[in-house]
Amino acid sequence: MIDPVYLIKAKEILTSLVPLAPNDPKILYSLGVIEARLGEFDNSIKDFDKAIELKQNYKDPHYSKALILIQLKQRGKAINELEFILKNINPEDELIKAQLEKLKS
């Protein structure tokens, strides 16, 4: 397990990078991952959405958002994210297919 002190420091660093590279979806995605690890799910989803807005075919924020939505018991929204990946990014993604199958059963 990562010491929360390091997660907080990582969040501070990534937050400071956003204004320097506002069009970089990887920074927003990374910030969302750190926020998720800190349990800041609302902020995490917002940052994943911003990353998706910048690069719609970026799989990682779609998948990470789906995982958080599953934790938050928002199954329908999670299914939508996973279906988007299969329809628009990679129709052959076995991990996404398996996760979707599990959610729909």
- Band (pLDDT 50/70/90 cuts) for residue 85 is very high
Tokens 């937050």 belong to 15
Domain boundaries, given as residue ranges, for the chain: 4-104
Confidence of residue 79 (pLDDT cuts 50, 70, 90): very high
Give the pLDDT confidence of 22-49 residue by residue, as tens digits. Answer: 999 999 999 999 999 999 999 999 999 9
- Find the Cα–Cα–Cα–Cα dihedral 87, 72, 95, 4, rounded to 10°: 130
Look up the pTM and report it. 0.95
Candidates 74, 72, 75, 65; CA nearest to 32 is 65
- On the question of pLDDT at 102 being above 90, the answer is yes
pLDDT higher than 90, residue 92: yes
| Closest C-alpha to 66, from 95, 105, 26 | 95
The tokens of 1 are what? 């397990």
CATH fit for domain 4-104, picks 2.40.50.100, 1.25.40.10, 2.60.120.10, 2.60.40.2470: 1.25.40.10
Q: What average pLDDT does the structure give for the chain?
A: 98
